[in-house]
Amino acid sequence: MAPPKNDIKTTDALGQIAYTVMAVLTRVAAEHDMSLTQLRVLGILRDRTPQMAQLASFLGLEKSTMSGLIGRAERRGLVERRPSPDDARVILVGLTPAGRALARAAELDAAEGLADLTTRLDARQVSALKEVARLSEGARTS
């Protein structure tokens, strides 16, 4: 069975959700003296240690912009660069303990900021939302 075609109301609903989430994340980032992009970096690094080039690609940034962003986060003690164990020419980026603590605090603040929306969802809706998120990650990386 073919998936249903997207209609304008579905697109509008996704846009409204995106605007709400972005507003909350922008506020959370500012409360922690970060830009939205810096917050995104911490969120990405919570569960992975990507190559600099992969991180730049995921965020849609030029390598030079990514290098500056990581440099500022390094100076704050939030991230560290290290050579890949497989190829010393490749640089990996990971969170420091301070970066992990800040990422966790921001995650909790974001959850609190979105609680008005998320607490209204039943188990079926949460499952559907997680599936949409999983599909959106695949769309970003393809």
pLDDT in tens, 44-67: 999 999 999 999 998 999 988 999
Parse the chain into domains and list their residue ranges: 18-141
Annotate the chain with three-state secondary structure. Answer: CCCCCCCHHHHHHHHHHHHHHHHHHHHHHHHCCCCHHHHHHHHHHCCCCCEHHHHHHHHCCCHHHHHHHHHHHHHCCCEEEEECCCCCCCEEEEECHHHHHHHHHHHHHHHHHHHHHHCCCCHHHHHHHHHHHHHHHHHHHC
CATH code assigned to 18-141: 1.10.10.10
Q: Which pTM was predicted?
A: 0.83
Q: How confident is the model at residue 92 (pLDDT cuts 50, 70, 90)?
A: very high
Q: pLDDT at residue 142 above 90?
A: no
Average pLDDT, integer, range 5-17: 84
